[in-house]
């Protein structure tokens, strides 16, 4: 049976502030650090969400969504759909709350993410990418029981992510641009809602890989689009096959523009992060830095959200050995 989504509505600053209190004991208040590259580069700051307990920002949304479940919903358990990070977030938050959790997981997800979800107590249901994407649209899947927590199209989930925006402006009030990767759109909707509420003249840009850029195409066309040339890549946490109409409705009010970077630029950003700051970033986490380095977002201060660091180490070493800057 499909879960009926609530109507799309703006996220209020008061909701974000309440979410910050609600999730404070579950998440890490991550640092914002300056990337020292010299005067010939933009002024870039890194919001290190790879330092969350699950090594990804999704814990913020998951913690808020699980905390707001009713007692009856907690007893029924929860389930979600994920390529890895949302599944880890929901599994972690569910374990903390003593709630059973299942994850319909994309079968090609990195092994490191699968191992972490199992270790967190989640029951995994592996499916092909297309089936997972269909389940996201239908909000149902045979054999997945309990309360469905959508990994991006969920008001409470997005509000949890928005708490990151409060931290960014607290640490760097002069922020001119914030760049976030786009997968489903929950991260940028949340952060954008907080940034626009507190500093309306700051710009919020989304970034996608060239192989999967439905948001940029939607921005170009003025309506939610299907990305017909979609290709799987090592950037498994960002870039979808299409832009969900409900997410387009959420995003368009708080996002100023959409950038696209090449896979080569993404590898280079991963390598730079490793060499300059000793940060391990997955592909999706490095997209904002790649976009900032392209100079398409201006001189800064630019905050690049390093959304996660969940990547198999062998794959990471292979990718950064190919990158250069």
| 278 close to 309: Cβ distance less than 8 angstroms | no
Phi, psi (deg, nearest 5) at residue 308: -170, 160
- CATH no. of 59-148: 3.40.50.1100
| DSSP single-letter state for residue 308 | B
In the block, which residue shows the tokens 């996220």?
Answer: 11
Q: 145 pLDDT exceeds 70?
A: yes
* Spatial separation of the C-alpha atoms in residues 309 and 325, rounded to whole Å: 20
From 134-148, 153-167, 185-199, 286-300, the region with the lowest mean pLDDT? 134-148
Could you tell me the two tokens for 314?
A: 């062998």
| Domain boundaries of the chain, sorted by first residue | 13-56+161-322, 59-148
* Spatial separation of the C-alpha atoms in residues 175 and 87, rounded to whole Å: 31
Expressed in angstroms, the distance from the first to the final Cα of the chain is 50
**Is the domain 13-56+161-322 a CATH 2.40.50.100 member?**
no
Q: Of all residues in the chain, what percent carry a pLDDT higher than 90?
A: 74
pLDDT tens for 77-132 read 999 998 778 899 999 999 999 999 999 998 888 788 888 899 999 999 999 988 98
């Amino acid at each position: 049976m499909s879960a009926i989504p609530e109507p799309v509505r703006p996220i209020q600053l008061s909701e974000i502030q309440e979410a910050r209190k609600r999730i404070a004991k579950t998440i890490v208040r991550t640092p914002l650090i300056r990337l020292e590259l010299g005067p010939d580069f933009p002024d870039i700051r890194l919001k290190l969400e790879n330092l969350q307990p699950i090594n990804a920002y999704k814990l913020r949304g998951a913690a808020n969504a699980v905390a707001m479940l009713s007692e009856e919903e907690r007893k029924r358990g929860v389930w979600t759909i994920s390529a890895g990070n949302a599944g880890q977030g929901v599994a972690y938050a569910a374990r903390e709350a003593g709630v059973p959790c299942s994850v319909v997981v994309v079968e090609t997800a990195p092994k490191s993410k699968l191992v972490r979800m199992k270790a967190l107590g989640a029951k995994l249901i592996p499916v092909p990418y297309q089936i997972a994407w269909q389940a996201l649209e239908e909000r149902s899947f045979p054999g997945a029981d309990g309360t469905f927590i959508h990994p991006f199209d969920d008001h409470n989930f997005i509000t949890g992510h928005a708490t990151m925006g409060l931290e960014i402006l607290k640490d760097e009030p002069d922020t001119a641009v914030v760049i976030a990767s786009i997968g489903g759109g929950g991260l940028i909707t949340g952060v954008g809602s907080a940034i626009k509420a507190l500093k309306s003249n700051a710009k919020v840009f989304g970034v996608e890989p060239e192989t999967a850029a439905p948001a940029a195409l939607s921005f170009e066309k003025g309506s939610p689009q299907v990305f017909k040339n979609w290709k799987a890549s090592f950037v498994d946490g960002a870039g979808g096959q299409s832009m969900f109409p409900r997410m387009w409705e959420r995003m368009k009010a708080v996002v100023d523009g959409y950038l696209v970077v090449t896979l080569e630029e993404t590898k280079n950003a991963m390598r730079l992060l490793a060499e300059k700051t000793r940060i391990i970033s997955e592909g999706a986490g490095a997209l904002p830095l790649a976009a900032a380095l392209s100079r398409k977002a201006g001189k800064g201060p630019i905050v690049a959200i390093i959304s996660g660091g969940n990547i198999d180490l062998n794959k990471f070493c292979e990718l950064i050995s190919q990158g250069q800057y």
